[in-house]
A and B are shown apart, each in its own frame.
Chain A
Amino acid sequence: MSERDTSGLRRVCAVNDVSPESPEVVEVDGQFVAVFESDGEYYALDNACPHQGGPLGQGKVEDECVYCPWHGWQFDVETGEHVQGIEDATSYEVTVDSGDVYVAL
Chain B
Amino acid sequence: MEYPIIDGEWHSAESGADVREYLDEDAFRENERAGYTAGPDEWGPVQWDGWDRSAGGRSTINIHSPDIESAEDVDPVREQLGIDRVVFSPGLFRMTTIPAMDKQVPYMRAFNDMTVDRFARGDGTYYAKLMVFGEHPEESAAEIERLADEDGVVGAMITDVGPTYPMGHSSYDPLYEAAEKHDVPIILHSTTGIVAGFPIAGMKPTNFAEFHTLAHTVPKMWHANSLIQRGVPERYDVDIGFWEGGLSWVPALAERLDREYLERSSEFAELSQLPSEYLSEFYYGSQPLPEEATSMVSVAELIERADLEDQVVYTSDRPHQDFDAPAAIDNVEGLSDEQRKKILHDNAAELFGL
Binding site for B on A (CB under 8 A): 52-53, 58-60, 62, 67-72, 74, 86
Contacts and interface: CB of A to CB of B under 8 A. Distances in A.
Contacts of B328: 52
A67 B55 CA distance: 10
Given A67-B58, A68-B59, 14 more contacts: A53-B325, A60-B57, A62-B58, A67-B59, A69-B59, A70-B59, A70-B60, A70-B321, A71-B59, A71-B321, A72-B321, A86-B291, A86-B292, A86-B293
Interface of B: 54-55, 57-60, 291-293, 321-325, 327-328, 331
A75 to B, nearest CB: 12
A60 B325 contact: no
A70 B57 contact: no
Consensus secondary structure, chain A interface: loop
A71 B325 contact: no
Contacts of A58: 60
A102 B76 CA distance: 32
Given A71-B322, A86-B293, A52 B55 contact: no
Q: Which of B60, B293, B321, B331 has the most A CB atoms < 10 Å from its CB?
A: B60
Given A60-B58, A69-B59, A72-B59, A52 B325 contact: yes
Nearest to B59: A72
A65 B59 CA distance: 13
B26 to A, nearest CB: 41
A48 to B, nearest CB: 11
B5 to A, nearest CB: 15
Across the A-B interface, give the 3 residue pairs with the lowest CB-CB distance, nearest first.
A67-B58, A72-B59, A69-B60
A101 B282 CA distance: 55
A62 B325 CA distance: 26
A72 B55 contact: yes
Contacts of A67: 55, 58-59
A70 B318 CA distance: 11
Contact of B327 (A53, A59, A72): A53
